[in-house]
Structure 1
Amino acid sequence: MTALMDVTVEQVATLDELVDLAQSLERSISGMMAARDGVLALAARWASDAASDADEADISYRAVAAELATALRVSDRTVQRRMAGAELLVERFPSVWAAQGAGEIAAGHARVIVDAGVRIEDPVAREEYAARVLEFARDESPNRVRPIAERIAQQYQPRSIEERHDGARQERGAWVRDHPDAMAEMHLFGPAALVHGAYDRITAMAKAHAAGPTAAASDADAERHDGDTGPQAGDAAPQGNDAANGQDPRTLAQRRFDIALDLLLTGVPAGHDTEQGLLAAIRPSVSVTIPFLTMMGLESLRIGTESVTAQPAELDGHGPIDPQTARLLAGAASGWDRVLTHPVTGTLLAVDRYRPSEYQRRHLRARDQRCRFPTCGMPARDSDLDHTHDAALGGATEVDNLGALCRRHHVLKHHAPWHVEQLGDGLVEWTSPAGRIYIDRPPPQNTVVFTEEATSTEQGQASAAPF
């Protein structure tokens, strides 16, 4: 069944008008939220100016928050948090605040930019950081901006990522928060590579358990194929008497929880494993990009008259990690991909591997990094590999006709009048049911590029410009 294929021209025009209206309202909302932040920042400044010392400033701040909270009928703690956030945005990131006020970005974009750059102390460096991230934020969703913002912020940090990670590790911990109806939630805070590795392992176990014992060994980590466009396993509980039919009625999230508690309470997934112990044999998997200088343990490298600075390693889809952890992961890996990039533009050129594997899958994972539908941030490794021009209709199985699509947007492509074309160099053009054009660009590679910089003494001198 294909949706929206029989709509009239008038209905499409109505949809286009609704999209215009939604965009206009979103810009107005962003502007109003920025205006509110301005008022809250002024209130915070007033509270500080009205106090004579630090102790009095805290009481003054609370008093002003209580005044506003009473008038707005919200908690004074909520208002105090908003005041602190607004003051941070307005005082330290004025260009970001201005962009939100103009409706160029939303509040979510502003939060992402501020969170990633909050530790940049130098005002000039902070403003340069904000300007660079805003270039992306105006065209991308907040979840896509986050890894870019964190990557750029690393270049302006006064302390190395190793120093900051060593300090942050001291804050690792676990805690529990109670909820009504005899429920509670457990939180784990620690190194990202370990946390995402653990999450990947329980996800693989949950999927393998749902697939059945025969599939657990062979299909737990298998690639999804673009011919299967049904709902993703675990997205919702199956309908009907599935328990009676031998099917697991739990959602993927529920199976994750049950298996995680099995592991924590017994050390093994005792309540879910097969007789052969196939679930316990599943190992976690994370994807890390490590620039060659970081892999070599170098902070910089001189090429001719220019010096290239090493860039932090990244946990793909999540953000930078410390080099020591990255090198340990690389050393323990059974194989790894080498991503070749253009030295000037940073564009992905090729991917090869020291152990034989499927070239195209590796190339596309490295190029796309996440789902290629605009605004989607689902990692490519968890997405389908789709033929843009259907293979059944003669589409070639080649890099320029393949792209990562998460299951949700894979289904949308096949069963709704969204049209997609590849324009070359990784650019993907989507046409919506209302006839709107959206261009999705592959995220920039975590690499070093070179630019030509003219100087008064030497024209065309090459300089390293890490992204």
Structure 2
Amino acid sequence: MTALLDATDSQMAMLADLVAGLQAAEETISGMQAVRDGILAMASQLAIDIAQGAEHPDYGDMATRAVAAEIGAAQRVSDRTIEQRMAAASRLVTDLPAVWAAQGAGRITAAHARVIVEAGAHLDDPVDRAAYAAAVLVVAEVESPNRLRRDARRIAEEYQSRSLTERHRDAREQRRVWVTDLDDGMSALGVHGPSTLIHGMYDRLSQMAHRIRDERARTANAQPQEQQQDGDAGDSTDERTVDQLRTDLLSDLVLTGAPTGHDSADALLGAIQARVEVTVPVLTLMGGGTDRDDSTPAELDGRCPIDVATARRLAGAATGWDRVLTHPISGAMLAVDRYRPSDHLRRHLRARDQRCRFPTCGLAARMCDIDHNHPASEGGSTCDDNLAHFCRRHHMMKHHSPWRVAQAAGGVLEWRSPTGSIYIDRPPRQNTVRFEPAARFEPAARFEPAAPNPVPF
């Protein structure tokens, strides 16, 4: 039966109204996003104006960080994310005002605007940018963002004053690797690099995966029928897909391979091993290890949970552990020691903080600086009540911007923003088992004797 063929006239009219309503809502959302971009661009310009007025030698970098931190703390968003949004909004509003106006009018969406800005990022001449915007908007108003991307690149190429070779040389400077944490103890590793290398890496992994799969099939077919029926077929029991094989091969190459193209004469890089920090409750380690395990999950680098079986394997292979002692009821950290001694204070702070202690920042503590909140030069003591982890970005901002921090008992930090707003950052909750106290009778209401009122004479 053909879909919607039996719909009544009233049902089709309702569908038409829904489509029109969604279209109107989308136009409103696009307009509001354009308003947000305008405000973010103004915030970026304000930071630059402040820096220029004071003749800052960093050309507004620290002022922009401080402004982004103010906005991010208020919105509970990482200031790095806000700074990226400010930069993107400035490019849209300042460099391509016609595109911003089209988004504000609801003729294109924010996704269209991002595609247009990215494709025209290397157009330096204002006249060329205006011509590019006029040409690409004709396509953007009738095509989806996905289809627009290819056309936008082609249109932008017509107005490029620099060759693709020159632009590629600059783009190579932006190559990077990043991690995105996902659900169920999984994460994604992203690589941004030259197309020839990325596609070459993928092709080599694919060839390896297919070679393993073909060899597996050949071995299985070569086994006698009796062994195949008995399940003794050697590598034929490997049922990994090509995608799974590609992932396993990449993991093996990165974790165990020696980077000969970049190694020193003494092959020092080949001796470096991967390092992660796992927090796992001792009762979880003592569990049965079955596939269906209800133990408290372990935690990787204070960022994401990992499965108990993996945590137990890592714990069994570790040469030394940091032991974090926690309160059995509240779960608060009490102390840290180690079976193999090392710097006690650093261990304590790393276990307490787990990450950068600026609000919204999640960079792991092992990648951060340990800094005095009350400067040592002014008599600040070197103890856990005056030290905390800050990533280099927020460490610098703490010293070179109006942001100020004070530390209270228990590692609680009170940040005061340039506008006077207060943001409290508490140490992350420890990944531990907590024992709830037995339920006890509580009266419905508690009466306290009132203080006697003085009687006037």
TM-score clears 0.5: no
Asked which structure has the greater CA Rg, the reply is: 2
Give the TM-score of the pair, scaled to structure 2. Answer: 0.44
Give the TM-score of the pair, scaled to structure 1. Answer: 0.43
Q: Which has the higher helix share?
A: 2
Q: Which has the higher strand share?
A: 1
| Bigger relative contact order, structure 1 or 2 (CA pairs below 8 A, ≥6 apart) | 1
